[in-house]
Amino acid sequence: MSVEITFSKPQYTRVLNSVTGQAEPCYRFVIRGAQELSDTVDRTLYPTHTDHLAHILREQVPYLRKLIDEFLRCNSQYFAKQYTTDAILRTLSAQVSTPASHGTGDADADEDASVAVFTPSEFTIHNGKIGLLWTVRYEAVRIHIPVLDEEEVVAPAPAPAPHVTGTESHAPVTNQVCSAPPTVLDATDLESVNDINSDDDSQIASEIAPDAHASQSALSARQYDKRRLKEARLRARLAQYKVERAMTRYLEKYGDEATDSEWSDSSSGSSESDSD
Q: Which residues, 6 or more positions from 3, have their beta carbon under 8 angstroms from its beta carbon?
A: none
104-136 tens-digit pLDDT: 334 344 456 689 999 999 999 988 889 999 999
Please give the pLDDT value at position 217.
Answer: 54
> For residue 137, which phi and psi values (nearest 5 degrees)?
-140, 160
Q: Where are the domains of the chain?
A: 6-139, 169-259
181-195 tens-digit pLDDT: 444 444 444 444 344
- Mean pLDDT over residues 94-100, rounded? 78
Question: Rounded to two decimals, what is the model's pTM?
Answer: 0.49
Higher pLDDT, 52 or 209: 52
Neighbours of 31 (CB within 10 A): 21
Q: Which residues, 6 or more positions from 120, have their beta carbon under 8 angstroms from its beta carbon?
A: 31, 34, 67, 132, 133, 134
Residue type, 268: S
58-74 tens-digit pLDDT: 999 999 999 999 999 99
Helix (H) or strand (E) holding 88: helix 85-91
222-236 tens-digit pLDDT: 888 888 888 888 888
Please give the pLDDT value at position 111.
Answer: 57
Mean pLDDT estimate for the chain: 74
- Mean pLDDT over residues 3-28, rounded? 88
153-176 tens-digit pLDDT: 555 666 665 554 554 444 444 444
Neighbours of 3 (CB within 10 A): 6
Of 55, 56, 63, the closest CA to residue 2 belongs to 63
